[in-house]
Amino acid sequence: MKAKSFAAPSADKPLEYYEFERREPTPTDVELEVHYCGVCHSDLHTAHGDWGEIEYPCVPGHEIVGIVTRVGSAVTKFKPWDRVGVGCMVNSCRECEACKRGFENSCFNEHGPVWTYSSKDPIDGSDTKGGYSTIMVAPEHFVLPLPDSLDMAHAAPLLCAGITTYSPLMRWKIDPGMKVGVIGLGGLGHMGVKYAKAMGAEVWVISSSPEKTEQAKSYGATGVIVSTSKQDMESAAHKFDFLLDTIPKAHDLEVYLQLLNVHGVLCLVGPIEAMPGFHSGSVINGQKSIAGSGIGGIKETQEMLEYSAKNNILPEIEIINIQDINKAWESLKNRQMAKRYVIDMKKSFPSI
C-alpha cells in the first residue's frame, strides 16, 4: 500500500514529501486512514538524532487518529468506519512481567516497546513509520477506540500529552484537597493542569514566565509561582504534595524539592537530558521522593480517553496542514507553547 507522508531525509534537513509502501495487514492487524496527527516535541528530537542513530527517511507522528479501513481476519474489536487512535507504541513482547501487567510502555524485552516510528517492526523487520502519513497499520491490541463524544482533532494529542500527564497523577492518587504544582506550561503542562484540577486538587503553575498567569488560570490553575522570583519560591516552600515536572531540558531540582511537603513527590515527565545531581538531604528531610513516568500502558490509555471524554478535558490545539510542518517545528524549537499543533491529514492530502 502506497502511503503519502512528510519525512525527515536526514538529521539536519527539513521535512519533505515522501511516499513509501506500508506493509499489508496481518490477520491481527487494523488498517486506518489517518485523519489527524498531533505534533510532539519528541518528533523533533527523534528526527534530529538527539536520542541516538535512526534510519532515514524518518516519518514521525505518534498522536494518530483516523477511521478504520480494513481489519484482519482474527480482529474482533474493530470494523471498518470505526473511529480509532494509535499512540506512541505499536507493539511489545506481550510476554514479560511488565506487558502482562498492562505496562507495555515499560516492556522488558531487550529492545523495549516497538515505537510508532523509528523502531524495528517485528512483523517484517522494517523501520516503523508514524502518523505524518495517510495510512497506518498496527496490531489490534495497540489500537484504541475513541469515545463518541471526543472530537478527533482534539483527541490526537491525548495519545501522548494526555496519557503522559494523566498516568502519574492517577499513579500517585491525586485527590480533592491535595496541592499540585505543574512545572512548565507547555504542551504537557497545560494538560497536567486540566487533569489535576478535574481530580479536585488545588493546582499552581510554576513557571519563569509571569505573563502566563491568566492563561494558567483559564486552564484551572489557582495562580502562577514565578520560578525566578526568590520571594515567590520562598513563599511556596513545603506547599505541594505533588509536583509534575514537564521541563524538557536539564535543570536544577534542588529549588523544586524545597517546594514539597512531607512525603511529597516530584515526578519527571519532561526531561530528555541527563539531569544534574541533588543533595541527598533534600529528599531525606521530609521523606520526599523523586520519580519518573512515561506515557502509559494500553489499558490506562483507554481509561484516559474515557476520563477525558467524561470530564471534557481537551488539549488546546492549532490545526495545520502538513505543508506547514517545518514552520511548526521551528516554532516548537524556539518557544514553549501551551498548546499542541495538530496536522489535518485529510486536508493536507485531499486526494486520499
For residue 173, give every residue at least 6 positions away whose Cβ sits within 8 Å of its Cβ, in sequence order, or none. none
Residue 305, pLDDT score: 98
Residue 1, pLDDT score: 86
Please report which confidence band the pLDDT of residue 274 belongs to, taking 50, 70 and 90 as the band edges.
confident
Question: Mean pLDDT, to the nearest integer, of 328-339?
Answer: 83
Secondary structure of the chain as H, E, C letters? CEEEEEEECCCCCCCEEEEEECCCCCCCEEEEEEEEEECCHHHHHHHCCCCCCCCCCECCCCCEEEEEEEECCCCCCCCCCCEEEECCEEECCCCCHHHHCCCHHHCCCCCCCEECCCCECCCCCCECCCCCECEEEEEHHHCEECCCCCCHHHHHHHHCHHHHHHHHHHHCCCCCCCEEEEECCCCCHHHHHHHHHHCCCEEEEEECCHHHHHHHHHCCCCEEEECCCHHHHHHCCCCEEEEEECCCCCCCCHHHHCCEEEEEEEEECCCCCCCCCCCCHHHHCCCCEEEECCCCCHHHHHHHHHHHHHHCCCCCEEEECHHHHHHHHHHHHHCCCCCEEEEEHHHHCCCC
Between these two residues, 269 and 1, which has the higher pLDDT value? 269
| Predicted confidence (pLDDT) at residue 352 exceeds the cutoff of 60 | no
Please report which confidence band the pLDDT of residue 148 belongs to, taking 50, 70 and 90 as the band edges.
very high
| Predicted confidence (pLDDT) at residue 257 exceeds the cutoff of 90 | yes
Q: What's phi and psi for 52, nearest 5 deg? A: 115, 170
Note the pTM of the prediction, 2 decimals: 0.95
Between these two residues, 111 and 170, which has the higher pLDDT value? 170
Residue 133, pLDDT score: 98
All structural domains of the chain: 2-160+296-348 (3.90.180.10), 162-292 (3.40.50.720)
What span, in angstroms and rounded, lies between the C-alpha atoms of 295 and 77?
23
Residue 82, pLDDT score: 98
Q: What is the pLDDT of residues 284-293, one digit of tens each?
A: 999 999 999 9
291 neighbors 283 (Cβ within 8 angstroms): no
Between these two residues, 18 and 273, which has the higher pLDDT value? 18
Amino acid 151 reads: D
What span, in angstroms and rounded, lies between the C-alpha atoms of 304 and 158?
8
Please report which confidence band the pLDDT of residue 312 belongs to, taking 50, 70 and 90 as the band edges.
very high
Nearest residue to 24 (alpha-carbon basis) of 92, 64, 70, 83: 70
Share of the chain above pLDDT 70, in %: 99
Residue 336, pLDDT score: 65
Q: What is the pLDDT of residues 222-245, one digit of tens each?
A: 999 999 999 999 999 999 999 999
Residue 214, pLDDT score: 95
Share of the chain above pLDDT 90, in %: 91
| Predicted confidence (pLDDT) at residue 170 exceeds the cutoff of 60 | yes
Question: Mean pLDDT, to the nearest integer, of 33-40?
Answer: 97
Largest CA distance in the chain: 64
272 neighbors 40 (Cβ within 8 angstroms): no
Q: What's phi and psi for 270, nearest 5 deg? A: -105, -40
Rounded mean pLDDT of the chain?
95
Question: Mean pLDDT, to the nearest integer, of 269-298?
Answer: 92
37 neighbors 345 (Cβ within 8 angstroms): yes
| Predicted confidence (pLDDT) at residue 351 exceeds the cutoff of 70 | no
94 neighbors 144 (Cβ within 8 angstroms): no
Question: Mean pLDDT, to the nearest integer, of 125-153?
Answer: 97
| Dihedral sign for Cα atoms in the order 46, 101, 315, 189 | negative
